[in-house]
């Protein structure tokens, strides 16, 4: 919508004034802090800047649901927020007092019909309230169910808020550097499309079904079943499964649940979703995870999900390997492949920044590295050399940060690297990765060989002119040399990453092809 179209929303001007009053001081402090950090060569964590981050979070909470969701998105943007701000924004929970049931009941009945005709029991006191919806307990068809419903007029509220946000962003243009403006504009546009997905419970049901299918038989986890004929775009009815909140350490220990194993398996489950599946749960905050009395994990709320294509997943594995091995060049290659760094960036400066950031980790056993230290490295480099983060990577970083907080709460000695090594080395992820890389290598090699062989007729004619009858041996020598060169490289690659039988088969096939080539000559 453009300014020329006018403002179709009643009350928007008042909302705009309120937002300006709350956000302008926040934005002014943020720009000042950001510029100061960029000028410092060796910036240290500053409590004063952290305090400014806390004040920013307070403003976002005061401004309501849309801004709470936006703050959660920004908590995973180290290219935009300093570490001190991120520390505060990551604590921004989606916990909002529920609406009055008198306002919610008409929406429920519009979608389901009279409540007394659908439910044997319905508790009008919500068991949880989030920024976009709230959940009630009920009973239908003899079963206890959870009824999730949008907040009344939430779509209209979001539209008004987004209109104001875009207006303020246009006002800021010319007053901030161009990169920051473009990055914020991209964030707002992506956020504007994604937030409506979370309002659509038919999409959430689809996400639940896909993830349940992906992890079936692999994970010890419960995903509630949806009652399809009672689910609409605005209302989601699913089986109610009672559990202990994942952060309630005392109750978990009372049930003799091993907290160290729970933390390990929780993180492993999410990392498996990232590296093995086409869809992952993107919002594992404590309100969305419970545990049964026998230690089984229960997952809720599948409105925020992420997807990784094969290329992004391979690049992420490369980044993991680089972090594990402290290989700055591998890290840079992965960030470039993820479109996380501009190809025009000064590679030498970036490498030096990574090496300096990782200096504090040198000499530490890899098993003792915590994920927050690893991400602090990434955050330092990202903030100094800004880029546009792909949406899937943003959700991944948010997911990882939330998950690490839970795991560290359960087990203060939790180490992300142990989980990473488990899935990379013990579950075949690296073998799959290397197989994919080998296929690409062979494909590229074949193309290179074909291009090389295209030159042989020219070389042949040249040899005929210079050496007459000697050209047969010479041309044959050239062809064989080219083939052997590529074969040796391929065999060396397979020797490095594959077992001996595979190597022998590949070598035998190569020898056979070489003999055929010689005989043809």
The long-range contacts involving 443-447, CB below 8 angstroms and separated by at least 24 positions, are 445/486, 445/489, 445/490
**C-alpha to C-alpha distance for 37 and 45, rounded to whole angstroms:** 10
**C-alpha to C-alpha distance for 188 and 162, rounded to whole angstroms:** 8
Question: Tokens 């595979």 identify what position?
Answer: 502
Query: Residue 1 CB: number of other CB atoms within 10 A?
Result: 12
Sign of the torsion angle spanned by Cα atoms 413, 49, 75, 92: positive
Cβ pair 380, 82 in contact under 8 A: no
**C-alpha to C-alpha distance for 84 and 90, rounded to whole angstroms:** 10
**C-alpha to C-alpha distance for 103 and 151, rounded to whole angstroms:** 9
**C-alpha to C-alpha distance for 122 and 370, rounded to whole angstroms:** 45
Using only C-alpha atoms, the chain has a radius of gyration, in whole angstroms, of 28
Helix (H, G, I), strand (E, B) or coil at 132: coil
Has 283 been annotated as catalytic?
yes
**C-alpha to C-alpha distance for 382 and 391, rounded to whole angstroms:** 15
**C-alpha to C-alpha distance for 364 and 323, rounded to whole angstroms:** 13
Query: Residue 438 CB: number of other CB atoms within 10 A?
Result: 16
What is the DSSP secondary structure assignment for residue 413, as one 8-state letter?
A: T
Name every residue whose Cβ is closer than 8 Å to that of residue 471 and which is 6 or more positions away in sequence. Answer: 460, 463, 464
**C-alpha to C-alpha distance for 356 and 351, rounded to whole angstroms:** 9
Question: Which position among 33, 79, 161, 283 bears the catalytic label?
Answer: 283
Our CA angle for 405, 50, 359, nearest 5°, is 70
What is the CB-side half-sphere exposure of residue 404 using CA atoms within 13 A? 20
Name every residue whose Cβ is closer than 8 Å to that of residue 160 and which is 6 or more positions away in sequence. Answer: 9, 11, 12, 15
- Give the Å distances, CA to CA, from 168 to 27, 70, 90, 157: 11, 15, 24, 17
Name every residue whose Cβ is closer than 8 Å to that of residue 39 and which is 6 or more positions away in sequence. Answer: none
Q: State how beta strands 221-222 and 143-150 pair.
A: unpaired
Active site residues: 283
């Amino acid at each position: 919508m453009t300014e020329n179209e006018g403002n179709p929303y009643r009350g928007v001007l008042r909302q705009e004034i309120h937002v300006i009053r709350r956000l302008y001081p926040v934005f002014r402090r943020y720009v000042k802090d950001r510029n100061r950090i960029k000028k410092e060569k060796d910036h240290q964590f500053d409590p004063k800047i952290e305090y400014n981050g806390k004040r920013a979070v307070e403003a976002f909470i005061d401004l309501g649901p849309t801004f709470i969701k936006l703050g959660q998105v920004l908590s995973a943007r180290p290219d935009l927020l300093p570490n001190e701000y991120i520390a505060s924004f990551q604590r921004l929970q989606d916990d909002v007092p529920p609406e009055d049931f008198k306002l919610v009941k008409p929406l429920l009945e519009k979608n389901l019909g009279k409540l007394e005709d659908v439910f044997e029991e319905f508790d009008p006191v919500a068991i949880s309230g989030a920024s976009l919806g709230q959940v009630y307990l009920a009973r239908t068809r003899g079963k206890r169910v959870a009824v999730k419903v949008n907040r009344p007029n939430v779509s209209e509220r979001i539209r008004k808020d987004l209109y104001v946000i875009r207006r303020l962003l246009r006002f800021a243009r010319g007053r901030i550097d161009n990169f920051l403006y473009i990055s914020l504009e991209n964030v707002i546009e992506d956020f504007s499309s994604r937030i409506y997905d979370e309002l659509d419970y038919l999409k959430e049901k689809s996400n639940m079904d896909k993830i349940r299918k992906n992890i079936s038989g692999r994970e010890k986890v419960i995903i509630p079943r949806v009652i399809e004929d009672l689910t609409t775009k605005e209302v989601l009815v699913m089986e109610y499964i009672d559990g202990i909140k994942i952060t309630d350490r005392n109750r978990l220990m009372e049930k003799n649940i091993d907290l160290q194993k729970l933390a390990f398996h929780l993180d492993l489950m999410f990392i498996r979703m990232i590296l093995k599946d086409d869809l992952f749960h993107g919002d594992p905050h404590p309100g969305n995870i419970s545990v049964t009395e026998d230690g089984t994990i229960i997952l809720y709320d599948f409105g925020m999900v992420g997807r990784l294509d094969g290329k992004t997943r391979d690049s992420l594995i490369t980044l993991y390997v680089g972090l594990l091995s402290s290989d700055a060049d591998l890290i840079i290659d992965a960030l470039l492949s993820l479109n996380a760094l501009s190809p025009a960036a000064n590679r030498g400066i970036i490498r030096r920044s990574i090496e300096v950031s990782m200096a504090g980790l040198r000499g530490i056993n890899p098993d003792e590295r915590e994920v927050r230290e690893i991400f602090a490295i990434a955050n330092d480099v990202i903030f100094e050399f800004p880029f546009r983060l792909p949406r899937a990577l943003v959700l991944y970083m948010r997911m990882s940060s939330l998950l690490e907080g839970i795991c560290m709460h359960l087990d203060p000695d939790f180490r992300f690297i142990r989980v990473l090594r488990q899935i990379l080395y013990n579950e075949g992820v690296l073998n799959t990765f290397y197989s994919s890389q080998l296929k690409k290598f062979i494909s590229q090699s074949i193309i290179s060989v074909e291009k090389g062989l295209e030159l042989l007729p020219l070389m042949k004619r040249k040899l005929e002119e210079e050496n007459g009858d000697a050209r047969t041996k010479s041309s044959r020598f050239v062809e064989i040399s080219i083939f052997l060169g590529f074969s040796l490289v391929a065999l060396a690659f397979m020797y490095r990453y594959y077992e001996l039988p595979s190597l022998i088969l590949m070598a035998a096939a190569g020898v056979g092809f070489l003999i055929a080539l010689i005989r043809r000559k």
